[in-house]
Amino acid sequence: MKTLKGISGSKGYASGTAVVKRDAPAVPQRYEVTDHAAEEERFRKARGVCEARFSELEERAARDIGPDEAEIFGAYRMILDDDAFFQKALSRSQSESVNIEYAIYEECRGVAAMFEGMDDPYLKERGADIENVCGEVIGCLSGAGGDFTIEANSVSDVIIVARDLTPAETVKMDKSRIRGLVTERGGTTSHTVILAKALGIPAIIGVEGLLGEVSGRERIIVDAYGGTVQIDPDEATFREFVEKSEREKKLNREYSLSAGKPAQTIDGFHIDVLVNTGDADSIKSFDAEKCDGIGLLRTEFVYMGRPDYPDEDAQYEVYGDIARRASGKEVIIRTLDIGGDKQLAYMDIPKEDNPFLGYRAIRLCLDRPEVFHTQLRAILRASAHGGVKVMFPMIVTAEELRQAKECVERAKESLRGDGLAFNENIAVGIMVETPAAALLSDQLAEEADFFSIGSNDLIQYVTVSDRMNERVQYLYDSCNLSVLRAIRMVAASATKRGIPWGICGEVASDELLLPVWVALGVTELSVAPSQAGKIKHLIGRIDKAKITAAVERLFDMRSIQDVKDSLGSLQGELSKG
Amino acid sequence: MFTANATIKNPTGLHARPAAQLVALCKKFSSDLQITDASGNKFDPKSIISVLSAGIKQGSDVQVTATGADEDDAGGQIVGFINGLAE
């Protein structure tokens, strides 16, 4: 048994079988090697590991899928067994004093190119086989390799173990089998965490040395309350864990009962709890009975995985469908937030040194009015079917908001011309996710119909710390006083003007901070669908009048730790009832 | 040294399964083996990559060469295998 510590990204308990994702870079690292005998030995070992892996996959495929699939792995083994080929790589490694994975990469490139140049379609494909086999060997040598999603789909209770997960990978996996995620990297708002929260499964991130300890197929216990991962637990530990997670399940059933009811504090303040969505999976599973609507509909997914911009009808189909399914409840549609870390080939966005401070989101939309116009028309048409509101991301000046609102008016005008239905009084709001918007919130409140605080970006921009960089995670903290004060400023501006304000970032579902949002008078919290019931349940245990003084004191504290300690004791009092 | 000629008769040539079977057979022998096609290109029948890259088609005449302790046994079996490939 081995225990590793990490940070809880999505709370919960899970156990299952480890499926390891090992990353292999496109081009392996090249470095000088002088001890050729040692290099040869390293190769021999890696080859043995790959051989065993192919044999196992061959057997499994024969048993679970069919003989044709099994044959692929037989062919892989034969390529792996090609001494003449690998001898060339070993000779290159020796003569050029270069590491063996790089030598294999070079040899493979030559052979693959030769096969690709052949006329015969059968032989053309063999180049890919050779590349796959070499990729496995190289991966093995550099501690990576293999398409884990295939393996993940063949195990019943999967715990995914990875350095980090990309959005593409999370799409490929059969999510019904995944019980938990454990990664070495990633901050608390990484894709891994967002996926875990959307699926309602536990995730532990930032587990140092993880990939060195897990080779795959081990039994794993994930305690994402304490942030511990146990590899190969003994029987007693495992049984104790199972009991604990049973108790947890019971509590979750209570939360799920709360999801369908309105959320109200003990002293009668009502707060809407909505959900964030924005990918095909979570839209499909959206259930208007279990929340008060959609507080953030990200629209980027409509633009992804296609060769060109989606046209108005394609967009309208998506937005209109969700508006109807929300059966009159609020649906806040955020206009395209592309750029920064999210890029699309057909948009042809020039490469930037600093994409997070560059050409993105509303800046891009205002610069490409035809793209914006198409989306606004689609959103407006959807507003004919329910409580659709439109929201602009990344606003930093009032001029931008005015310009974007003019675009909405133009879209309305053109729809009128075409005789298409829409809600004339559609609410137009903004994301408050930049320090600029927070500082200007008093003025912006006069021109926006609502505010939604995008805490993920706001924390990042206020504290100037990248949420993906684990070395600066200590700064990327929602309890950072600068962040809390920025939110208080936004809350005050909205309250003064009497417009609704909500939070749609990760902090909206942060149990510790919930009393702060309640005390500041939040009107809407938009959270991952799996969190809605719990947040409603917790709101019901808060007496706003009783906590307000304690929350006020937070804003004058002098350290993140002091804020956390106070919030901790406040939470302790609340859970006592 | 063993040397003999053989003709590939099966329609797909030295492809897929026949190629794999040839390699599996050749690996049993310790002798150095070589197959030379009609245009003089040589390939190593113990290497699947080499066999496939040769792209030997139906009707090709090839020369089998074996050098080593089990050269006669190897050469004989390889020629037998190639000539015996199914139509």
Query: Which CATH number covers residue A128?
Result: 1.10.274.10
Structure confidence at residue A64 (pLDDT): 61
Query: Which CATH number covers residue B46?
Result: 3.30.1340.10
- With vertex at residue A401, the alpha carbon angle to CA A400 and CA A405, rounded to the nearest 5 degrees, is 115
Does A419 share its domain with A296? yes
Does A301 share its domain with A441? yes
User: Which residues, at least 6 apart from A335, have a Cβ–Cβ distance to it below 8 Å?
Assistant: A299, A362, A365, A372, A375, A376, A379, A390, A391, A392, A393, A404
Does A16 share its domain with A32? no
Does A502 share its domain with A359? yes
Does A372 share its domain with A491? yes
Q: How many domains does chain A have?
A: 3
Query: Which CATH number covers residue A204?
Result: 3.50.30.10
Torsion over CA of A531, A537, A540 and A545, rounded to 10 degrees? Answer: -40
A122/B16 CB distance under 8 A? yes
* Residue A146 maps to a domain: no
- In angstroms, the separation between the Cα of residue B68 and the nearest Cα of chain A is 17
Does A295 share its domain with A442? yes
Q: How many domains does chain B have?
A: 1
Partners of B53 on chain A (C-beta within 8 Å) are: 111, 114-115, 123
Is this structure's pTM higher than 0.80?
Answer: no
> Is some CB atom of chain A closer than 8 A to the CB atom of B5?
no
Residue A77 sits in which domain range? 28-141
Compute the count of residue pairs across chains A and B with CB atoms less than 8 Å apart. Answer: 40
Q: Compare CB distances from B47 to A74, A75, A84 and report the shortest one's residue.
A: A84
Of A141, A169, A184, the residue at which a domain comes to its end is A141
Q: B53-65 pLDDT, tens per residue? A: 887 877 788 899 9
* Residue A147 maps to a domain: no
Q: Compare CB distances from A126 to B24, B27, B52 and report the shortest one's residue.
A: B52
Q: A423-474 pLDDT, tens per residue? A: 999 999 999 999 999 999 999 999 999 999 999 999 999 999 988 888 998 9
Residue B17 sits in which domain range? 2-83
Does A465 share its domain with A497? yes
Partners of A74 on chain B (C-beta within 8 Å) are: 20
List B residues 8-67 in contact with A (Cβ-Cβ < 8 A).
Answer: 12, 15-16, 20, 23-24, 27, 44, 46-50, 52-53, 55
* Residue A217 maps to a domain: yes
> Is some CB atom of chain A closer than 8 A to the CB atom of B69?
no
Structure confidence at residue A188 (pLDDT): 66
Crossing angle of helices A235-259 and A532-539, rounded to 10° = 70
Q: A69-96 pLDDT, tens per residue? A: 677 778 888 999 999 999 999 999 999 9
Does A266 share its domain with A223? no
Does A373 share its domain with A477? yes
Does A195 share its domain with A281? no
Partners of B24 on chain A (C-beta within 8 Å) are: 78
- In angstroms, the separation between the Cα of residue A143 and the nearest Cα of chain B is 25
Structure tokens at A50: 């790959």
Structure tokens at A355: 């994409």
Q: Helix, strand, coil shares of chain B as percentages rounded to 5?
A: 35, 25, 40
To probe the interface with A, which of B15, B52, B60 has the most A CB atoms within 10 Å?
B52
Residue found under tokens 């970032």: A505
Q: A201-259 pLDDT, tens per residue? A: 899 999 998 988 998 889 999 999 989 999 999 999 999 999 988 988 888 888 989 99
Of A220, A251, A282, the residue at which a domain comes to its end is A251
Task: State the first-to-last Cα distance of chain A, in angstroms, to the nearest integer.
Answer: 38
- Mean pLDDT: which of A174-188, A418-432, B45-59, B73-87 is highest? A418-432
Does A272 share its domain with A379? yes
Of A251, A284, A306, the residue at which a domain comes to its end is A251
Active-site residues of A, by number, are 191, 504
B15/A130 CB distance under 8 A? no
Does A118 share its domain with A156? no
